[in-house]
Amino acid sequence: MLNSSVTEIAAALAERKVSSLELTQLFLERIARLNGELNAYITVSAERALADARAADARLAAGERGPLLGVPLAHKDIFCTRGLPTTCGSKMLANFVSPYDAHVIERFARAGAVMLGKTNMDEFAMGSSNETSYFGPVRNPWKTSAVPGGSSGGSAAAVAARMAPAATGTDTGGSIRQPAALSGICGLKPTYGVVSRYGMIAYASSLDQGGPMGRSAADLAALLNVMAGPDVRDSTSLERPAEDYTRELGRPVEGLRIGLPREYFGAGVDPDVAARVREAVRWFEARGAKTVEVSLPNTRLSVPCYYVLAPAEASSNLSRFDGVRYGHRAQDYADLREMYARSRAEGFGAEVKRRIMTGTYVLSARLLRRLLPAGAEAAPPGGPRFRRRLRAVRPDPRAHHPVDRVRAGRQDRRSGADVPQRHLHHRGEPGRPARPVDPLRFRHRRPAGRPADRRRLLFRGAHAGRGARLPAGQRLACPRADRDAAVSVRLRLLILSAACAGTLLGCGSVQEPAREIGGITGGEAPASAPAASRPPQPRSPQAKSGAAVVGAPARLNISSVCNARDEAGYAGIDPRRWPTVRCASCRQGSRCPGAARAASSSPTSARRATRRTSS
């Protein structure tokens, strides 16, 4: 059962061949056995998992069926979970217990999934090796001296090591796709807005997106079906009809067109990785897919843009962690300013501080004036041209860099390891819809492309690769009509994100971990090979597609905003359930009279919750 896919597990549960409780216990035992070595979980919620499992069994016994009913899952510790610690991999939130569930968590709960626990991650999702976690590095199950990638490294390792059938992750600049690649599983960064960010702790709001991590395209589709959908609590969530992401599974890849951006095969790509991408491309061609070389000349701007935009937003997003209301507060300080300084100095790790400093710097008035020419808004770099070319998406071998070795305890990694992942996020692709560089003039656009095209490319391609001995996966692109390039034929652009293709492929090539991990014997053996070239390269599906139309700017039309009724109590949690406000300059934490007073006027205690649930 440990080696079964989500789909298989759901089928077994539906046929009552196994109970959710048995399954959950099986996974909990495996976690107990392996977590000491791999450190994939920060919190294991055994009690909650068993309760979830019993509830699911009851629903199953009552005749209810569902693709995730009773299936155990792990969640990245960036999603808020009511009653469980939500640490975001940081000392700052080491004792934080959320009073509410993230949208994604609610959705999985409604679908009857079982929550095994919260997985390790780079601190506040800043990193790509999982070494910046306050709770220690995660190890790659394929080779424990290697990193699993990051920031969703805990989820990747947990899935790879069969400590969970599938898991959630979040991706800002590669944080799902890259660890999935390095850990030999599949991962998908959905189009920005597909998955609600409500309850997902923000790193760079305009790029963050939650997504599924699993061992096959089919599993990703099953998870995404549950995660995706509009949410009135997230203004940036896309309003569009529900899709069935499993629909394209099993359909042929013949006729799909895959764009190969020249720039992605240029300097800086590991030759081993590039070779495997080409191999993957040939695999698709052999099955009837067409490939077209395209050019995305502004690709070179993507990384610099990322390192302006993401830290800028992060510096603001992380301001709320000030020790006033929750989270770490220094023990000793003379005044308010020092309370802030010490609490944040103690609570944040080096990489987080570095990005906050960078972001604060780039947002400073003096620098902004220098960075931004007047009228920058009118012509976002690469605007229309980039979008046109982008109608195809492309394999990006540069995303696949050799796996670093774990440097335990090293918290001050340089950001360089992140570099290769960024391009698409700044455009209309799975990342955030088109973004100018100008951090003062961000815009939100609806992603181009028809969902159906994306879906077709992604899942059909990915699923087709299942079982195939294709080497690494990469992002494959299916071009579409390029008016300005006067391409006479309408190119159907498939953007198979690597993941897609690759993942799919990847999934095929690495069905099992190579060496025995905790009693499971792997199928194929990547054992001695450099980890980098081995695991498949799940990349996110970058679906931009055929008849894609560049969307109109998303509107916050006043007739469609959520709180349209102006009714008190309409959104959010019952305020009385979270009365924890502590005094600004209090040295005594919860014993402070100010907090006590504030608390005495409300039903629950003002003491901040500090206990971790059982593990």
Partner 1 sequence: MQWEIVIGLETHAQLATRSKIFSGASTAFGAAPNTQASAVDMALPGVLPVLNKAAVELAIRFGLAIGATVAPRSVFARKNYFYPDLPKGYQISQYELPVVQHGSLSFVSPEGGEKTVRILRAHLEEDAGKSLHEDFHGMSGIDLNRAGTPLLEIVTEPDLRGAKDAVAYARTLHALVRWIGICDGNMQEGSFRCDANVSVRRPGAPLGTRCEIKNLNSFRFMEQAIDYEVRRQIELIEDGGTVVQETRLYDPDRDETRSMRSKEDAQDYRYFPDPDLLPLLIAAADIERVRATMPELPQARRERFQSEYGLSAYDADALTGARESADYFEALVKAGAAEPKLCANWQTGELAAALKRDGLEIAACPVSAAALGGLLRRIADGTLSGKMAKEVFEAMWAGEGAADAIIEARGLKQISDSGAIEKLVDEVLAANARSVEEFRAGKEKAFNSLVGQVMKATKGKANPAQVNEILKRKLGA
Q: How far apart are the first and last CA of the chain?
A: 22
Report helix, strand or coil for 442: coil
Q: How far is the CB of 340 from partner 1 (least distance, A)?
A: 6
**Residue 7 CA neighbour count, 13 Å, CB half:** 13
Given the complex with partner 1, which of 198 and 307 has the nearer CB atom?
198
| Residue 43 host element (H or E) | strand 41-44
Q: How far is the CB of 88 from partner 1 (least distance, A)?
A: 7
Q: Which stretch binds partner 1 (CB under 8 A): 64-72, 96-104, 294-302, 471-479?
A: 96-104
Q: How far is the CB of 594 from partner 1 (least distance, A)?
A: 4
Q: Which residues touch 445 (CB under 8 Å, ≥6 apart)?
A: 428, 433, 434, 550, 551, 552, 553, 554
Query: Cα–Cα distance between 125 and 76 in angstroms, integer?
Result: 10
Query: Cα–Cα distance between 59 and 500 in angstroms, integer?
Result: 34
Q: Which stretch binds partner 1 (CB under 8 A): 37-45, 172-180, 318-326, 492-500?
A: 318-326
Query: Cα–Cα distance between 254 and 200 in angstroms, integer?
Result: 38
Q: Which pair of structure tokens corresponds to residue 20?
A: 């959710």
∠ CA(544), CA(550), CA(556), 5° rounding?
115
The site map against partner 1 for 383-422 (x = CB under 8 A) is ----------------------------------------
Task: Report residue 311: phi and psi, to 5°.
Answer: -65, -35
Q: Binding to partner 1 (CB under 8 A): which residues in 100-119? A: 100, 102
Given the complex with partner 1, which of 245 and 578 has the nearer CB atom?
578
Q: Which pair of structure tokens corresponds to residue 417?
A: 């390891």
Among positions 3, 95, 144, 235, the unique one binding partner 1 when judged by CB under 8 A = 235
Among positions 215, 422, 480, 582, the unique one binding partner 1 when judged by CB under 8 A = 582
Q: How far is the CB of 432 from partner 1 (least distance, A)?
A: 8
324 binds partner 1 (CB under 8 A): yes
Task: Report residue 44: phi and psi, to 5°.
Answer: -110, 120
591 binds partner 1 (CB under 8 A): no
Q: How far is the CB of 155 from partner 1 (least distance, A)?
A: 17
Q: Which stretch binds partner 1 (CB under 8 A): 179-187, 319-327, 417-425, 520-528?
A: 319-327
Q: Which pair of structure tokens corresponds to residue 308?
A: 């302006």
Among positions 110, 369, 591, 597, the unique one binding partner 1 when judged by CB under 8 A = 597
Q: Binding to partner 1 (CB under 8 A): which residues in 520-579? A: 553-559, 561-573, 575-576, 578-579
Long-range contacts of the stretch 582-588 (C-beta < 8 A, 24+): 582/324, 582/325, 582/329, 582/606, 582/608, 584/324, 584/336, 584/339, 585/335, 585/336, 585/339, 587/331, 587/332, 587/333
**18, exposed or middle or buried, with CB in 10 Å at 0-12, 13-18, 19+?**
middle
Q: How far is the CB of 555 from partner 1 (least distance, A)?
A: 4
Largest CA distance in the chain: 75
369 binds partner 1 (CB under 8 A): no
236 binds partner 1 (CB under 8 A): yes
Query: Cα–Cα distance between 461 and 470 in angstroms, integer?
Result: 13
Given the complex with partner 1, which of 133 and 246 has the nearer CB atom?
133
Q: How far is the CB of 234 from partner 1 (least distance, A)?
A: 5
The site map against partner 1 for 270-309 (x = CB under 8 A) is ----------------------------------------
Query: Cα–Cα distance between 230 and 115 in angstroms, integer?
Result: 23
User: What type of residue sits at position 543?
Assistant: A
Q: How far is the CB of 597 from partner 1 (least distance, A)?
A: 7
Rounded-to-10 torsion of CA 171, 314, 263, 401: -60
Given the complex with partner 1, which of 78 and 498 has the nearer CB atom?
78
86 binds partner 1 (CB under 8 A): yes
Residues in contact with partner 1, counted by CB under 8 A, come to a total of: 87
Q: Binding to partner 1 (CB under 8 A): which residues in 24-83? A: 79-80
Centre a 10 Å sphere on the Cβ of residue 9 and count the other Cβ atoms it contains: 23
Given the complex with partner 1, which of 55 and 583 has the nearer CB atom?
583
95 binds partner 1 (CB under 8 A): no
188 binds partner 1 (CB under 8 A): no
Given the complex with partner 1, which of 64 and 335 has the nearer CB atom?
335
Given the complex with partner 1, which of 275 and 362 has the nearer CB atom?
362
| Residue 186 host element (H or E) | strand 186-187
Q: Binding to partner 1 (CB under 8 A): which residues in 194-223? A: 197-202, 204-206
Nearest to 206 by CA among 170, 168, 169, 172: 172
Q: How far is the CB of 223 from partner 1 (least distance, A)?
A: 20
Q: Which stretch binds partner 1 (CB under 8 A): 27-35, 48-56, 85-93, 409-417?
A: 85-93
Given the complex with partner 1, which of 318 and 507 has the nearer CB atom?
318
Q: Binding to partner 1 (CB under 8 A): which residues in 346-365? A: 360, 363-365
Q: Binding to partner 1 (CB under 8 A): which residues in 420-479? A: 439-444
The site map against partner 1 for 6-25 (x = CB under 8 A) is --------------------
Given the complex with partner 1, which of 318 and 491 has the nearer CB atom?
318
Q: How far is the CB of 92 from partner 1 (least distance, A)?
A: 9
Nearest to 461 by CA among 422, 509, 423, 496: 496
173 binds partner 1 (CB under 8 A): no
User: What type of residue sits at position 336?
Assistant: L
Q: Which pair of structure tokens corresponds to residue 158?
A: 């947990």
Active site residues: 76, 151, 175
Give the 3-state secondary structure of 85-150.
ECCCCCCCCCCCEECCCCHHHHHHHHCCCEEEEEECCCHHHCCCCCCCCCCCCCCECCECCECCCC
134 binds partner 1 (CB under 8 A): no
